[in-house]
Amino acid sequence: MFDTEAFVATCRSAVSEGEPRLAVKDVLAAAMADAASVARVLPPNRAEIVRLHASAELTILKVVWAPGMSFGPHDHRMWAAIGIYSGGEDNSFYRRMDNTLTASGGKSLRTGDVALLGDDTIHAVTNPTTDFAGALHIYGGDLFSTPRSEWRGQPYRETPYDVDHVLRSFEEANGATGRS
C-alpha cells in the first residue's frame, strides 16, 4: 500500500544523490508501478493541487486534472518528474521564438507513466480522458517561491505566473463537473 509520508521521505533522500532527478524518477516509477494503490490513498475525485511537501530543494504535489481540463503554456524553471496514477495528461511542448512561443512536440502520459521535464521546459497540459487525471508532480526546488512565467493569448504573450489564476481554473473545472 502506498504511504505518502514514506514516499516523501524517499524522495527527499533521492535529492541528495549524484543525479537527483534520475533518483527521484526511479522513486516515482516504483510508486506508479502500483498506481491503483496511489489512487486509493490520494483519490482523484476533484480537480486540485495539494502540497504534499515543499522545501528549498524539493516540492511534491498531488495534481488532479478534471476530464477535458486544459492549462496553457507555462514553465517551472526547475526540473520536474510527473507520474500518472489515473487518467491521462497530454503535454504540448514549446520553445521561445522572438517574443512568442512555437510548438516543439508533445508527450502523452497515461496511468503508470513517468516523465522527466528539464529546467527549461515550457509546456501546456490537457487531460484528454473522461476520468479525473491524478498525478504526482515532483519539482527540483521550491516551486512556490520561484518566479515563473505563463503564456496567454494568440500569439502567446509571456506574463508572470499567476497562482490565483491557476487555482481559479481548477475550481472552474470542478464547477463544470459538479465537484465544487
103-124 tens-digit pLDDT: 999 999 999 999 999 999 999 9
3-state secondary structure of 34: coil
What per-residue confidence (pLDDT) applies to 99? 87
What is the pTM (predicted TM-score) of this model? Answer: 0.94
Confidence of residue 58 (pLDDT cuts 50, 70, 90): very high
3-state secondary structure of 13: helix
Which 8-state DSSP code applies to residue 66? Answer: P
What is the share, in percent, of the chain residues with pLDDT greater than 70?
A: 99
Could you tell me the strand order of the sheet in which 149-152 lies? 100-110, 88-97, 122-126, 70-75, 149-152, 157-160
pLDDT at 52 over 80: yes
Integer Cα distance of 125 and 109 in angstroms: 10
Q: What average pLDDT does the chain have? A: 95
- Taking domain 4-173, whether its CATH number is 2.60.120.10 is answered by yes
What per-residue confidence (pLDDT) applies to 178? 81
Express each pLDDT in 139-166 by its tens digit: 999 999 999 999 999 899 999 998 888 8
Integer Cα distance of 31 and 1 in angstroms: 10
Confidence of residue 179 (pLDDT cuts 50, 70, 90): confident
